Amino acid sequence: MVIFINLEHLPFETKMKVLREIEIEFFPNDNNRTDYYRIIYRDNSTGNDDKRNSDKRTDMIKGIEIEEQIDMVNEIKLKLKEILVRLAIADFVVTKDSNSYESLTFLERSNAESKGILHCRHCGMEFEDEMQLGNHLRIHFII
| pLDDT mean across residues, the chain | 84
Amino acid, res. 50: D
- List b or e across 72-105, with b for residues whose CB sees 16 or more CB atoms inside 10 angstroms: ebeebbeebbebbeeeebeebbbbbeeeeeebbb
pLDDT tens profile 13-24: 999 999 999 988
Largest CA distance in the chain: 49
* 92, 107 contact by CB (below 8 A): yes
Q: What is the pLDDT of residues 53-89, one digit of tens each?
A: 455 577 788 999 998 888 899 899 999 999 998 999 9
Task: Give φ, ψ of 60 to 5 degrees.
Answer: -90, 5
- Predicted confidence (pLDDT) at residue 50 exceeds the cutoff of 80: no
Q: Which residue has the higher pLDDT, 1 or 82?
A: 82
How far is it, in rounded angstroms, from Cα 6 to Cα 97?
9
Share of the chain above pLDDT 90, in %: 32
Better pLDDT: 1 or 19 = 19
pTM, rounded to two decimals = 0.78
**Chain segment 101-116, per-residue pLDDT in tens:** 889 999 998 888 888 8
